[in-house]
Structure 1
Amino acid sequence: MNEAASAQNSREENQTSTSAAQSTTQSTIQTTTQSTEGTSESQTDDFPNVSLDDWSMVLVGPKYKIDQEISQSGLSKLSNGYLVDKRIVSAYDDLAAAAKKAGYPLVMVSAYRSVAYQRKIFDANVDTLMARGESKEAAEKTTKLTFTEPGYSEHHTGLAIDVVDQAWYQDHTTDVLDHRFGDTDGGKWIQAHAREYGFIVRYPEGKYDITQIDYEPWHLRYVGVAAATYIEENQLTFEEFIDQVKER
């Protein structure tokens, strides 16, 4: 083969090699782009379709005073005598039935509380401490460690409930609302399954800096199944979830 022919063949081989490389690169870029787009779309689709205006998204807590207390007509009495927002009755009944089937029958110890009632028990505790010699300021500060200030309790919404299982209730008559409940089989079942019925453990462990309330494995809050699942799977507080809703 002469030098001219050899050079021509070399150029053709280089062009073929370059073309193949470009094709491979383009294919890789396209595949990567599609994969990234797919991941982004999947993450977007995972976020619950909720609005801050939804009735189940009302945020109440030590830093968030309730805007408007639920009306009496919006409440419904459960079979145990406690009042809740009538829109969560079926969800709670389903949760209670599932817990009973799993071997952890629930005992409710608190549900809806009016602002007026919260004020009554708050002031009563302040009066008790003052009778023991504390100043009013000190008594109020101490009371806030145990009782939520009137107007700032989730129980005003009718969407919050305090529940434990029957075994714990029977064995802890003087300290029912204790964080150790979260370490029991019943407490663990609630943590794992409450979301399936639209409830979250509102004050999770290690999140005091955000919620301003210590770990309460018994305190459940209704937010809807989609939101509850997202919150629990991503280990968020309700405050953090609301912040994400605001950003969207």
Structure 2
Amino acid sequence: MSPEISPQRWRRCCWAIAALTFGLTALVSPSALGAAVAEPQAWVDEPITGPWAPPAPIDEPKSRWQEPVPAGIHSLSFPYFTGLEFNQLFNTAALPNLSSMYRSPNITDSAEMDEHIRASAEDRGYLRRPLPANYALMRLIDDGLALQRPAAAAWLALAQDAAAHGYELELNSAYRGHRYQREVFLRPYEAPYGIDDLVERLTMSAPPGYSKHHTGYAIDIGQHGYYNFGRTPAYEWLSADNFANAKKHGWIPSYPPDGGQQGPVPEPWEFTYVGREAILCFHQPPAGDDPLCRR
């Protein structure tokens, strides 16, 4: 290595060479994941449960998203993030196929109670989240669970990488619409609802309109045979070296332990997809000379 080239710049050059080597490819094979079902407007408020069938062969549009990094990439290739930076990374990532914000969905049958819950949620750090702009671009995987196309490809790569290291990951939740999130949020209670109960519920669950699952870029995962994912061997593997094995496939922790006012208490089972490019370029200046991070 030339003495004029810093280790950081050398790693960036390696990434640029790797990106050229892999090339830009279609993210999801139609035969592997299939296309989303028809009538996408029904999905705005409904959980996606199928039915679906593989589409006829078509020419998939090319994407700038890269294939997942091979398992051998060293963790030092990735920048270190604090919990606050992980949260900022998801909030600022330029993720495709997201809509403008819809009006706030109902939480209960009381507009006054809903406003109180939303205000309390935002005080805790919850943010409004967009829905997918075009549901036909979603991909259905694992018992009808749906994800955005790049996240679907990255989930499969992550699960395969974990399996190669001896960890069986389970996908427990993916895209959730407003109605489904309302059911999740109100699940422990029966009407008439008590405001104190619902404000306390914010420590464990987002109200409809505020869940990262609305975007199609969030997953809840588990390890087969374990109940508490935060104490599993798979989580230890994912979280090692500042979540290097998750970053390798474009995933970051959704609610990390040191995330500050971020909504619920830390959730080791939830991860969000931002893509490797966003991870590698987060600390780069907008006008930097790194070819991987130029816009």
Identify the TM-score tier after normalising by the shorter chain: 0.5 to 0.7
Closer/same/farther in 2, CA of residues 186 and 52 from structure 1, 3 Å limit: closer
Contact 2:202/2:263, CA 8 A, preserved across alignment: no
SS in 2 for 1:197: coil
Q: What letter matches 1:151 in structure 2?
A: G
2:204 is equivalent to residue 146 of structure 1: yes
Structure 2 CA distance for aligned equivalents of residues 57 and 70 of structure 1: 5
Q: Which among 234, 243, 247 is matched to residue 195 of structure 1?
A: 247
Cα deviation digits, residues 174-227 of structure 1 (max 9, x gap): xxxx4xx334321111224111110011211132x2423322221111011133
Question: In the TM superposition, what is the alpha-carbon distance from 1:164 to its structure 2 partner?
Answer: 1.5
**Structure 1 equivalent of residue 166 of structure 2:** 103
Q: What letter matches 1:198 in structure 2?
A: G
Cα deviation digits, residues 31-72 of structure 1 (max 9, x gap): xxx97xx76x949x6999x995721698x9943202444442
2:154 is equivalent to residue 91 of structure 1: yes
2:184 is equivalent to residue 121 of structure 1: yes
Alpha-carbon RMSD across the aligned residues, in angstroms, is 3.7
**Structure 1 equivalent of residue 26 of structure 2:** none
Q: Which among 256, 262, 267 is matched to residue 211 of structure 1?
A: 262
Closer/same/farther in 2, CA of residues 71 and 202 from structure 1, 3 Å limit: same
Question: In the TM superposition, what is the alpha-carbon distance from 1:76 to its structure 2 partner?
Answer: 1.1
Structure 2 CA distance for aligned equivalents of residues 81 and 228 of structure 1: 29
Bigger proportion of residues as helix: 1
- Note the 1:13-162 alignment, pairs <5 A: 42=9, 52=92, 54-55=94-95, 62-127=125-190, 130=193, 136-162=194-220
**Structure 1 equivalent of residue 272 of structure 2:** 221
**Structure with larger Rg:** 1
Cα deviation digits, residues 64-85 of structure 1 (max 9, x gap): 2024444422321114421111
Question: TM-score, normalising length from structure 2?
Answer: 0.51
**Structure 2 equivalent of residue 3 of structure 1:** none
Contact 1:52/1:245, CA 8 A, preserved across alignment: no
Closer/same/farther in 2, CA of residues 126 and 229 from structure 1, 3 Å limit: farther
SS in 1 for 2:254: strand
Aligned residues: 182
Contact 1:51/1:245, CA 8 A, preserved across alignment: no
Question: TM-score, normalising length from structure 1?
Answer: 0.60
Structure 1 CA distance for aligned equivalents of residues 91 and 209 of structure 2: 23
Q: Which among 221, 224, 240 is matched to residue 163 of structure 1?
A: 221
Structure 2 CA distance for aligned equivalents of residues 146 and 156 of structure 1: 16
Residue segments in structure 2 that go unaligned for 5+ positions in a row = 13-76, 80-89, 102-121, 288-295
Q: What letter matches 2:199 in structure 1?
A: K
Cα deviation digits, residues 11-40 of structure 1 (max 9, x gap): xxxxxxxxxxxxxxxxxxxxxxx97xx76x
Closer/same/farther in 2, CA of residues 76 and 70 from structure 1, 3 Å limit: same
Question: In the TM superposition, what is the alpha-carbon distance from 1:229 to its structure 2 partner?
Answer: 5.4
SS in 1 for 2:248: helix
The alignment-based identity, stated in percent, is 26
Residue segments in structure 1 that go unaligned for 5+ positions in a row = 1-33, 131-135, 173-177, 231-240
Closer/same/farther in 2, CA of residues 121 and 203 from structure 1, 3 Å limit: closer
Contact 1:160/1:219, CA 8 A, preserved across alignment: yes
Contact 1:51/1:57, CA 8 A, preserved across alignment: no
